[in-house]
Amino acid sequence: MLTDESLVRSAKQGEAAAYAELVRRWSAPILAVCRARVRCRHAAEDLAQDTLLRGWESIRSLQDDRKIGAWLRGIAQRVCLDWLKRHQNQQVPFSVVGETAKAGDGFADDSISPAEQLFKRSEEERLQAEIDRLPEDERETLLLYATGDWTYQQLADLLDVAVGTINARLARARERICRHLRIVRETKS
Amino acid sequence: MNCEHSRNQISPWLDGELNDSESAALLQHLDQCPECREFVDELRGVNGLLRSGADQNLQQAHLLAERVITQLPPSVNRIEHAAPAPSRTREFLFLLAGLAAGFLCAWGLFSNDSGSNSSDDPTIASNETEANNADPKLNGTDSPIALPQAVARLVRVIGNVSVGSQVDVPLTRVSQANPVSCVAESVVQTGPDSRCELLLASGSVVRLNSGTRLLVRSPRQVEIHEGQLFCSAPEGTELNVVAVKIDDAMSKVPTFTCPSNGSMWTSNSPRGVQVSSASGEIAVQTSDSELKLKTGQSVEVIEGEIQPVSNVTADPLLATRWIHPLLIQKGAQDPELKSRVDAMLAKIGQSKLSSLYESEIRSLGEYCVLPLIRYLESPQSQTEPARRQTAARIIADLATTWAIGDLIVLLESEDGVVRERVAVALQRLTSENHGTSPEQWQESRPSETLELWKAWWSENLHHYPSLDELNQQEIKENTL
């Protein structure tokens, strides 16, 4: 069975099929990273695609063949940062987009209370909006964790942090979401 | 443990990250603390929402991956080569190349799977040798690496099912919309309330119940690490199932061989391994002993020792009813579903558990209707009045509009109860009775009303899609 490391070695030799396999393995985590950075589903797809194609173009610059995931994540962060800089003045808060906007199409708006913001949305949309309101590191960890059956250790290796940090981020993120959803429920009732 | 500490532990506990003593301490606290228990329920709710959102994101990611792959160079080229514009032909070649790479998320390619015999299926290797010699057209003739070929396909997925192309990589969640192929050494895992079915390249079928972890070694061997599986081997081939616990010494690992045309189910839990033969003679082998299980027999293997099953073995039909949701996915005309409905119907009236069999048949919903109609049409039903009437009662409750034509034919039944139940079903489905109530049908068989029903059907049948048409429609929707 081919490991990421051996696929990277083959990809460095120009073997597109090997890189295709890496794309299949890493598309979901990279999409999650982009989604966490830009908080816009459609933009995240384009940015993840851009990231994976840039990965192919520069695969030979990867130093440690075992760390393709962390390396692609680094590219994704840069790609997203560029995009955010370009779109800094174009962000549209939810309150302007209106009630018909779907979660993830716009950006979370910090100017109104969570209860007001979430009141009229479906549970799924509320959850999406709550994820958007999380601090970026918690959001990224939570979205990454949801892409597969990661252990905390694997996620810690990918994000280059301690296992305890993963634990704390996931616990805090879920508690925040719980708390806000409870506020919404109580406000409604 | 106080509440603050408990709150910090609940999230990793739900993720399976606590060790046994930490879990025990937390459970002890939860036992005494309703507030923390409520928090557990809330977190579970959030996790459930996150999982459903994740499924959608994973489908997006699969599509994204295929879009990226179509923009990679078409064959074995140096990376200095500029990527040419994508074309339909190249996209197709890359889908195939991706398959050779072994972990294909293939929309459309697999959506019309018959689930029966894979011997003429070009998308998966037929044995281990072929698996290591993938078609050069797929890999590129001058490929510097030999990419392995698929040895199995995940053909049915219900709920949370994850696949990894090797033991130590993170698993990727898959869905019915995005079935995957598995190379040798792939891991398949089902979550709670989830099921899946694998078609191996040898033609064997392996179905996993919820909470099961399987390693696909080759087209003829799988390893069950935990959970429960049902498998069957086709004519001319055997399937070896090895029940492994990660911490077990290899010498204690039992192997079960499902023979040609045989089927069996096995469960692997911390308490031990249990295996039962559903059909055919199953060979059970440990380092010390060996025996053959006849149809209906079961044994337990605990610490490498083969022992008789301590509990009375459940009826195979009931013990393996968890496979029914998978059979339903194959449609109402699936022969395996029909044979199971027939077998359960045969148990009604013969067993103290009759009501269990009836409720199990009913749990299949409209999918049990066609097998029951075929039973009522069979000569066998003429000699089994009680069973015949049970079948008619179930049909009356569960039939949908595609059954109208068959139901009208059943109005000619000799059995008044059958006619009455069929008339109830027809009235429910069409809001018509043509002047004869169900009660009247029980008393007599008015030929003039029967003619009215037939005339009505010839005028109206185009309003009601047949089962074939509904199946075609479903296939089309799935393909799109």
Tens digit of each residue's pLDDT (9 = 90 or more) over A87-101: 765 544 332 333 333
Beta carbons of B103 and A21 less than 8 Å apart:
yes
**Model-wide pTM > 0.80:** no
The two structure tokens encoding residue B266: 């096995």
Q: How many contiguous H segments (helices) and E segments (strands) does chain B have?
A: 17, 17
Residue B205: beta bridge partners?
B199, B232
Beta carbons of A127 and B53 less than 8 Å apart:
yes
Q: Which amino acid is at B177?
A: A
The two structure tokens encoding residue B311: 């509990």
Among B219, B147, B45, which Cα is nearest to A24's?
A: B147
The more confident residue out of A92 and B33 is B33
Beta carbons of B50 and A48 less than 8 Å apart:
no
Region of residue B279 (phi > 0: left; psi between -120 and 50: alpha; otherwise: beta): beta
Which chain B residues are Cβ-neighbours of A171 within 8 angstroms? 7-8, 10-12
Closest Cα in chain A, distance from residue B391 (Å): 42
Closest Cα in chain A, distance from residue B271 (Å): 25
| pLDDT for residue A114 is more than 60 | no
For residues B291 and B257, the answer to whether their CB atoms sit within 8 Å is no
The more confident residue out of B114 and A75 is A75
Q: What is the mean pLDDT of residues B136-153?
A: 47
What pLDDT does B212 receive? Answer: 95
Of all residues in chain B, the one with the smallest CA distance to A125 is B53
Closest Cα in chain A, distance from residue B109 (Å): 17
Closest Cα in chain B, distance from residue A91 (Å): 23
For residues B421 and B395, the answer to whether their CB atoms sit within 8 Å is yes
Beta carbons of B78 and A177 less than 8 Å apart:
no
Of all residues in chain A, the one with the smallest CA distance to B41 is A178
Q: Identify the burial level of B407 via C-beta atoms within 10 angstroms of its C-beta, where 0-12 means exposed, 13-18 middle and 19 or more buried.
A: buried
Percent of chain A with pLDDT over 90: 47
Closest Cα in chain B, distance from residue A187 (Å): 17
Phi–psi pair at B258, nearest 5 degrees: -90, 120
Interface of A with B in 170-189 (CB under 8 A): 170-171, 174-175, 177-178, 181-182
Mutate to test the interface with B, among A33, A57, A147, A149 (most CBs of B within 10 A): A149
Q: Is A130 helix (H, G, I), strand (E, B) or coil?
A: helix
Percent of chain B with pLDDT over 90: 26
Beta carbons of A28 and B101 less than 8 Å apart:
no
What pLDDT does B305 receive? Answer: 82
Beta carbons of A2 and B148 less than 8 Å apart:
yes
What pLDDT does A142 receive? Answer: 94
pLDDT in tens, A119-167: 445 666 778 888 888 999 999 999 999 887 788 999 999 999 999 999 9
Q: Is B382 helix (H, G, I), strand (E, B) or coil?
A: helix
Q: Is B307 helix (H, G, I), strand (E, B) or coil?
A: strand
Q: What is the mean pLDDT of residues B265-292?
A: 88
Which chain A residues are Cβ-neighbours of B172 within 8 angstroms? 25, 28, 147-148
The DSSP result for A26-95, as a single string, is HHHHHHHHHHHHH--HHHHHHHHHHHHHHHHHTGGG-S-GGGHHHHHHHHHHHHHHHHHHHTGGG--BHH
Q: Is B199 helix (H, G, I), strand (E, B) or coil?
A: strand
The two structure tokens encoding residue B283: 């060979």
What pLDDT does B351 receive? Answer: 66
| pLDDT for residue B92 is more than 80 | no
Q: What is the DSSP code (8-state) at residue B196?
A: E
Q: Is B185 helix (H, G, I), strand (E, B) or coil?
A: coil
Beta carbons of A124 and B49 less than 8 Å apart:
yes
| Residues 6 or more apart whose Cβ sits within 8 Å of residue B330 | B115, B156, B336, B337
User: From the centroid of its chain, how far is CA B353?
Assistant: 25
Which chain B residues are Cβ-neighbours of A1 within 8 angstroms? 148, 165-166, 183-186
Residue with tokens 């999409």: A31
Closest Cα in chain A, distance from residue B289 (Å): 33
* C-alpha–C-alpha distance, residues A57 and B83, integer Å: 10
Which chain A residues are Cβ-neighbours of B91 within 8 angstroms? none
Q: What is the mean pLDDT of residues B226-254?
A: 81
What pLDDT does B133 receive? Answer: 34
Dihedral angle computed from the Cα positions of residues A94, A96, A100 and A103, in that order, rounded to the nearest 10 degrees? -20
Among A29, A35, A43, A30, which Cα is nearest to A131's?
A: A35
* C-alpha–C-alpha distance, residues B208 and B195, integer Å: 6
**Per-chain mean pLDDT for chain B:** 77
User: From the centroid of its chain, how far is CA B178?
Assistant: 15
Interface of A with B in 75-104 (CB under 8 A): none
pLDDT in tens, B440-451: 999 998 999 999
For residues B350 and B357, the answer to whether their CB atoms sit within 8 Å is no
Query: Confidence class of residue B354 from pLDDT cuts 50, 70 and 90?
Result: confident
Determine which helix (DSSP H) or strand (DSSP E) holds B271, and give its type and residue range: none
Which whole-number Å values give the CA distances from B414 to B349, B372, B404, B408, B445, in the listed order? Answer: 21, 17, 19, 13, 8
The more confident residue out of B182 and A77 is A77
* C-alpha–C-alpha distance, residues B258 and B376, integer Å: 34
Among B186, B192, B243, which Cα is nearest to B219's?
A: B186
Q: Is B213 helix (H, G, I), strand (E, B) or coil?
A: strand
Q: What is the mean pLDDT of residues A42-69?
A: 92
Phi–psi pair at B479, nearest 5 degrees: -65, -40
Q: Is B254 helix (H, G, I), strand (E, B) or coil?
A: coil
The more confident residue out of A164 and B247 is A164
Count the neighbouring beta carbons within 10 Å of the beta carbon of residue B263. Answer: 23
Which chain A residues are Cβ-neighbours of B143 within 8 angstroms? 15, 17
Q: What is the mean pLDDT of residues B330-337?
A: 80
Q: Identify the burial level of B410 via C-beta atoms within 10 angstroms of its C-beta, where 0-12 means exposed, 13-18 middle and 19 or more buried.
A: buried
| Residues 6 or more apart whose Cβ sits within 8 Å of residue B312 | none
Which chain B residues are Cβ-neighbours of A59 within 8 angstroms? 79
Residue with tokens 């079928």: B205
The DSSP result for B59-88, as a single string, is HHHHHHHHHHHHTS-SSB--TTSPPPPP-H
**Lowest-confidence region among B39-43, B79-83, B407-411:** B79-83
Of all residues in chain B, the one with the smallest CA distance to A4 is B169
**Lowest-confidence region among A99-108, B328-337, B388-397, B418-427:** A99-108
pLDDT in tens, B164-173: 877 667 787 7
Q: Interhelix angle for B335-347 vs B354-362, to 10°? A: 150
What pLDDT does B239 receive? Answer: 95
Percent of chain B with pLDDT over 70: 77
Which whole-number Å values give the CA distances from B66 to A41, B79, B148, B351, in the listed order? Answer: 18, 19, 19, 53
Mutate to test the interface with A, among B94, B172, B183, B214 (most CBs of A within 10 A): B172
Q: Is B153 helix (H, G, I), strand (E, B) or coil?
A: strand
Q: What is the mean pLDDT of residues B37-54?
A: 82
Residues in chain A: 189
What pairing do the DSSP bridges indicate for beta strands B239-243 and B221-232?
parallel
Q: Is B200 helix (H, G, I), strand (E, B) or coil?
A: strand
pLDDT in tens, B429-439: 999 999 999 99
The more confident residue out of B99 and B33 is B33
Q: Indicate the residue of A1, A6, A23 with minimum beta-carbon distance to B68.
A: A23
Largest CA distance in chain B: 85
